[in-house]
Chain A
Amino acid sequence: MEKFKTLTAVAAPLPMINVDTDKVIPARFLKTIKRTGLGKHLFDPMRYDDKGAEKPGFVLNKAPYRDARILIAGENFGCGSSREHAPWALLDFGIRCVIAPSFADIFFNNCFKNGILPIVLPQETVDELMEDAGKGGNATFTVDLEAQEIARPDGEKIAFEVDPFRKHCLLNGLDDIGLTLERGGKIDGYEGTQRGGQPWLWSGATPA
Chain B
Amino acid sequence: MSRPRTLFDKIWDSHVVDTQEDGTCLLYIDRHLVHEVTSPQAFEGLRTAGRPVRRPEATLAVPDHNVPTTDRSQGVDDEESRIQLDALETNCAEFGVPYIPVTDIRQGIVHIIGPEQGMTQPGMTIVCGDSHTSTHGAFGALAFGIGTSEVEHVLATQTLIQRPAKNMRIAVDGALPNGVTAKDMILAIIGKIGTAGGTGHVIEYAGEAVRALSMEGRMTMCNMSIEAGARAGLVAPDETTFAYIEGRPMAPKGGQWEQAVAYWRSLPSDEGAVYDKEVTLRAADIAPQVTWGTSPQDVLPITGSVPDPAAIADTVRRESVERSLEYMGLAAGMPLSEVPVDTVFIGSCTNGRIEDLRAAAVVAKGRKVAEGVQALIVPGSGLVKAQAEEEGLDTIFLEAGFEWREPGCSMCLAMNADKLKPGERSASTSNRNFEGRQGPGGRTHLVSPAMAAAAAINGHLTDVRDLTG
Instruction: Return the chain B residue nearest A180 by Cβ.
Output: B157
Known: A35-B41, A187-B159. A207 touches B26 (CB 8 A): no
Interface residue ranges of A12-67 to B (CB < 8 Å): 15-18, 20, 22-23, 26-28, 30-35, 45, 50
A187 contacts B41, CB within 8 Å? no
B335 at the binding interface (Cβ < 8 Å) = no
B161 contacts A180, CB within 8 Å? yes
Known: A22-B436, A23-B435, A176-B153. A187 touches B158 (CB 8 A): yes
B196 contacts A79, CB within 8 Å? yes
B147 at the binding interface (Cβ < 8 Å) = yes
B41 contacts A34, CB within 8 Å? yes
Instruction: Return the chain A residue nearest B116 by Cβ.
Output: A207
Stretch at the interface among A3-11, A103-111, A139-147, A149-157: A103-111
Residues of B within 8 Å of A33, CB to CB, are 40-41, 44, 83-84, 87
Complex Cα spacing A186 to B57, Å = 20
Complex Cα spacing A104 to B157, Å = 25
Contact partner of A76 (CB less than 8 A), chosen from B150, B196, B434, B441, is B196
Contact string against B for A residues 62-93, beta-carbon threshold 8 Å, 1 for contact and 0 otherwise: 00000000000011100111111001000000
Interface residue ranges of B371-412 to A (CB < 8 Å): none
Contact partner of A208 (CB less than 8 A), chosen from B161, B231, B249, B257, is B249
A82 contacts B38, CB within 8 Å? yes
Complex Cα spacing A83 to B435, Å = 16
B260 at the binding interface (Cβ < 8 Å) = yes
Residues of A within 8 Å of B153, CB to CB, are 176-177, 180
Nearest Cβ on chain A to B122's Cβ, whole angstroms = 11
Known: A23-B434, A105-B199, A187-B158. A110 touches B440 (CB 8 A): no
Please classify how large the interface on chain A is, using the bins under 10, 10 to 19, 20 to 34, 35 or more. 35 or more
Interface residue ranges of B58-108 to A (CB < 8 Å): 58, 60, 65-66, 78, 80-81, 83-84, 87, 98, 100, 106
A76 contacts B316, CB within 8 Å? no
B434 contacts A22, CB within 8 Å? yes
Residues of A within 8 Å of B119, CB to CB, are 205, 207
Known: A84-B147, A181-B157. A28 touches B22 (CB 8 A): no
B280 at the binding interface (Cβ < 8 Å) = no
B253 at the binding interface (Cβ < 8 Å) = yes
Most chain B CB inside 10 Å of its own CB: which residue of A35, A76, A179, A200: A200
B415 at the binding interface (Cβ < 8 Å) = yes
A22 contacts B435, CB within 8 Å? yes
Residues of A within 8 Å of B83, CB to CB, are 31, 33
Residues of A within 8 Å of B78, CB to CB, are 31
How many B residues touch A, CB cutoff 8 Å?
Answer: 88
Contact string against A for B residues 172-184, beta-carbon threshold 8 Å, 1 for contact and 0 otherwise: 0000000000000
Nearest Cβ on chain B to A31's Cβ, whole angstroms = 4
Known: A22-B435, A105-B200, A207-B60. A110 touches B147 (CB 8 A): yes
Instruction: Return the chain B residue nearest A76 by Cβ.
Output: B196
A28 contacts B415, CB within 8 Å? yes
A177 contacts B157, CB within 8 Å? yes
Most chain B CB inside 10 Å of its own CB: which residue of A79, A82, A113, A208: A82
A181 contacts B150, CB within 8 Å? no
Known: A17-B317, A79-B229. A180 touches B131 (CB 8 A): no
A124 at the binding interface (Cβ < 8 Å) = no
Complex Cα spacing A33 to B47, Å = 13
Residues of A within 8 Å of B157, CB to CB, are 177, 180-181, 184, 187
B256 contacts A200, CB within 8 Å? yes
B216 at the binding interface (Cβ < 8 Å) = no
Nearest Cβ on chain A to B28's Cβ, whole angstroms = 5
Interface residue ranges of B116-171 to A (CB < 8 Å): 117, 119, 121, 123-124, 129-131, 145-150, 152-153, 156-159, 161, 163
Residues of A within 8 Å of B60, CB to CB, are 206-207
B199 contacts A76, CB within 8 Å? yes
Residues of A within 8 Å of B430, CB to CB, are none
Residues of A within 8 Å of B66, CB to CB, are 31
Known: A27-B414, A32-B80. A113 touches B260 (CB 8 A): no
Complex Cα spacing A105 to B257, Å = 35
B413 contacts A27, CB within 8 Å? yes
Complex Cα spacing A82 to B320, Å = 23
B37 contacts A204, CB within 8 Å? no
Residues of B within 8 Å of A83, CB to CB, are 37-38, 147
Residues of A within 8 Å of B57, CB to CB, are 205-206
A31 contacts B316, CB within 8 Å? no
B432 at the binding interface (Cβ < 8 Å) = yes
A201 contacts B229, CB within 8 Å? no
B240 at the binding interface (Cβ < 8 Å) = no
Residues of B within 8 Å of A28, CB to CB, are 414-415, 440
Complex Cα spacing A199 to B18, Å = 21
B343 at the binding interface (Cβ < 8 Å) = no
A200 contacts B147, CB within 8 Å? no
Nearest Cβ on chain B to A166's Cβ, whole angstroms = 9
Known: A22-B436, A187-B28. A31 touches B150 (CB 8 A): no
Complex Cα spacing A186 to B27, Å = 11
Complex Cα spacing A28 to B441, Å = 13
A80 contacts B150, CB within 8 Å? no
A148 at the binding interface (Cβ < 8 Å) = no
Nearest Cβ on chain B to A179's Cβ, whole angstroms = 8
B195 at the binding interface (Cβ < 8 Å) = yes
- Provide a sorted-by-A list of 20 A–B residue pairs whose CB atoms are within 8 angstroms: A16-B316, A18-B320, A26-B440, A27-B65, A33-B87, A80-B227, A84-B129, A109-B146, A109-B147, A165-B24, A176-B161, A177-B49, A177-B152, A180-B153, A180-B161, A181-B51, A200-B252, A203-B253, A206-B57, A207-B98
Extra A-B contacts (8), CB below 8 Å, given A31-B83, A45-B435: A30-B65, A81-B130, A109-B147, A186-B26, A187-B28, A203-B253, A207-B60, A207-B106
By Cβ-Cβ distance, the 7 closest A-B pairs, closest first, are A113-B149, A200-B252, A84-B147, A33-B40, A31-B80, A110-B147, A82-B145
